[in-house]
Structure 1
């Protein structure tokens, strides 16, 4: 089973410093990896980033209570951190506090190095897992970015800066959409539909993820039409993948939910969380680094008869108002301080657009049959084993093992709604 996930996050500003190493892949392609020295902030980052992920999730859940939720917490954290490094005074403080950092405890330089280490670790080539984050800056042609900003985004983040005439809405919108479509390999088309002429600077951040399950599903076991309960009054029909396999799983009696871990073949895993009916809000409120640690400690491997829907979902947000409610106010105000980006006055955030797309199936986005191999038949193991059927609203987390980062976080309310 493959999973393809593509993310776009549009926001403004960035700046940084870092050391470099290079990796040469088997096809001869040289990849630059920006790797600073490790520091104390680096060890705290997975926990702080996770708390930010759950805080943002709860905000989005309140604002979109009856919709699918899906976003990339680590990518948003990285983009906001980069924005903070091009800012100053209370603008910078508020951005970092929303992310969960306290400048009294951790110097900005340490935070900067830690995020750069995170980017390097996530982007570094892996044999069976494709994970790549990247950026592009579209800046109003009337602005003059600092030379240090231009140098840093090119050498440290492999980011191109495009001078854009935002007064020509149609042309600038087409320019950004074309870039996004190319960088996402055609998976995100027409991202911006209503660009306003007062835009100043836009950062496009994308993340590409592709991985194989350690225990692939058999296509022949997939039920073509199975019931999925959206709510008390709504049921939809979805293809339901079926497998009898050994998984790490756990029933949390305190939170009234079932947790199941599905491993990828390299450096990543997915956590599927199925609350009992009527207990979703309880589980959402309890999500934290402590809860993740508890689940990790109590998960045990055993035979499970598993049913997971084959589905595609996408979610688009303008995170501007959400981030302001979380405390990031000055960045959107006339008094915003982005002096690390340009000496020109009046630079502030206008929007923070975010779009994520998920497809999950026997062969990811590929169509066609998959060889029947991998799982054992029911008759080959003892008949007494739990049956876990994800046939109602569930939570989904995808984590990168080495950095302990939450790559993606979401809630599947209706798997038929893309």
Structure 2
């Protein structure tokens, strides 16, 4: 058995007030992703991607019970599909099947084309929504990557490939951390704390997202010392935003939860899910792509007196053990098979890490003007029956509308837990 060469997979997700600009550069050339047309596979994929997101979420609830959870499902999925591009045999099969795909029904090429569309669509410039997802592959100078792999990951997955000297672990770590810090405008620093000897490739995936609410909150109505109930006996004081407006919302009597949709100004939305007391686990076990479709069908617009806490949380995860439990096993062992990536043998994953950051405030992003308060006539006042207070643990989803992708998924157990 040849000696192992280690590939480290790191993934980031950011929802921050920052400008995330980065054309993809490979060997000094700026490239443009080929933008395919959406096909039937894309729409089927949205269900697969959602179910993978909820399955991974449920794994986290077991591994870190009663804690905040926050991650970027689409970021993790896209990086794994990109990695599968260089894999074959059971290594490739395990990666794609763990994402929920039946390869006898959906060919590998269709899956890869679908993710190509997702990445291109997410990165397509938008006026009031700053969204960019990208990959950076740091590859050892001595490695001989296949030209087809470099071309494909550049054009299909917007992956920047940088030659790196891993013989000096300290210098390589500094180079990677500096690059990540630059790409995220200083929001993620010291991402890599250590590298194994004989590491020769590190894949970093990041997603930056900044958007303003379609209807920003008025900061003057935020109550700084409002009670948030962590459990039956424990509360913390949080800044609670308040707004009376028309929102799409529903009460799901099957899951015993309330759902409120808050729109961003362009092509994205947030779903706030509030289970009734002591019903969080039932909602978590039941959520699926079918749940999202049901909610989309049943949401109705009406007046809501809404209370939402300001939130600043993050999630950091070592995904290796979790992904292995979900079926991606060979990639982390000496059975790993990546013949489409490099001429060198013995390549396997040594680490898969993920970090996501979330900040929610009155405006969604800095510098967004708050609309003037308007008076309500008597006919409108008669419909103001819904008071919805997110003053206990709730689930949060942030979705992009065009691709139906879950950009971020999480649970806020304690809004004051340090990000």
What are the residue-to-residue correspondences of 1:264-303 with 2, within 5 Å? 264-303=264-303
Instruction: Quote how far apart the aligned CAs of 1:199 are.
Output: 2.5
Structure 1 consecutive aligned stretches of length 4 or more whose deviation exceeds 6 Å: none
Distance 1:191 1:48 in 2: 29
User: What residue is the counterpart of 1:20 in the other structure?
Assistant: none
Unaligned segments of structure 1, at least 5 residues: 1-8, 12-22, 24-29
User: What residue is the counterpart of 1:26 in the other structure?
Assistant: none
* SS at 2:194 equivalent: coil
Instruction: Quote how far apart the aligned CAs of 1:363 are.
Output: 3.3
Distance 2:316 2:375 in 1: 40
Distance 2:43 2:84 in 1: 20
Distance 2:348 2:268 in 1: 36
Residue 72, structure 1, aligned to residue 68, structure 2: no
Instruction: Quote how far apart the aligned CAs of 1:228 are.
Output: 0.9
Instruction: Quote how far apart the aligned CAs of 1:31 are.
Output: 8.0
What are the residue-to-residue correspondences of 1:192-341 with 2, within 5 Å? 192-341=192-341
Distance 2:337 2:312 in 1: 40
Distance 1:377 1:347 in 2: 65
Distance 1:10 1:391 in 2: 34
User: What residue is the counterpart of 2:371 in the other structure?
Assistant: 373
Change (3 A) 1:264 1:128: same
User: What residue is the counterpart of 2:399 in the other structure?
Assistant: 399
User: What residue is the counterpart of 1:186 in the other structure?
Assistant: 186
Contact 1:220 1:372 survives alignment (8 Å): no
Distance 2:404 2:38 in 1: 15
Instruction: Quote how far apart the aligned CAs of 1:198 are.
Output: 4.0
Change (3 A) 1:271 1:60: same
1:212-269 residue CA offsets vs partner (Å, 9 max, x unmatched): 1111100111001111112234211111100000001111122111000001111111
Distance 2:263 2:31 in 1: 26
Contact 1:218 1:371 survives alignment (8 Å): no
Contact 2:210 2:365 survives alignment (8 Å): no
1:115-141 residue CA offsets vs partner (Å, 9 max, x unmatched): 111111111111111111111111233
Change (3 A) 1:114 1:261: same
User: What residue is the counterpart of 2:106 in the other structure?
Assistant: 106
Distance 2:134 2:108 in 1: 22
Distance 2:397 2:72 in 1: 10
Instruction: Quote how far apart the aligned CAs of 1:374 are.
Output: 4.5
Contact 2:71 2:355 survives alignment (8 Å): yes
Distance 1:309 1:130 in 2: 23
Distance 2:277 2:153 in 1: 48
Residue 53, structure 1, aligned to residue 68, structure 2: no
**TM-score, L = length of structure 1:** 0.89
Instruction: Quote how far apart the aligned CAs of 1:96 are.
Output: 0.5
Distance 2:352 2:375 in 1: 48
Distance 2:365 2:247 in 1: 24
Distance 1:107 1:42 in 2: 12
1:139-167 residue CA offsets vs partner (Å, 9 max, x unmatched): 23332211222233334444322233334
* SS at 1:96 equivalent: helix
Change (3 A) 1:335 1:275: same
Distance 1:261 1:366 in 2: 21
* SS at 2:262 equivalent: strand
Shifted more, 164-173 versus 30-39: the winner is 30-39
User: What residue is the counterpart of 1:149 in the other structure?
Assistant: 149
Contact 1:219 1:371 survives alignment (8 Å): no
Distance 1:377 1:66 in 2: 42
1:159-216 residue CA offsets vs partner (Å, 9 max, x unmatched): 3222333342321111111000100111111112233334231111111111111111
Contact 1:273 1:394 survives alignment (8 Å): yes
User: What residue is the counterpart of 2:19 in the other structure?
Assistant: none
Instruction: Quote how far apart the aligned CAs of 1:295 are.
Output: 1.2
Shifted more, 36-45 versus 94-103: the winner is 36-45
* SS at 2:137 equivalent: strand
Contact 2:144 2:344 survives alignment (8 Å): yes
Contact 1:275 1:394 survives alignment (8 Å): yes
1:295-326 residue CA offsets vs partner (Å, 9 max, x unmatched): 11111111100000111000101111100000
User: What residue is the counterpart of 1:6 in the other structure?
Assistant: none
Change (3 A) 1:214 1:366: closer
Distance 2:200 2:277 in 1: 46
User: What residue is the counterpart of 2:412 in the other structure?
Assistant: 412
Tell me the C-alpha RMSD between the 2 structures.
2.0
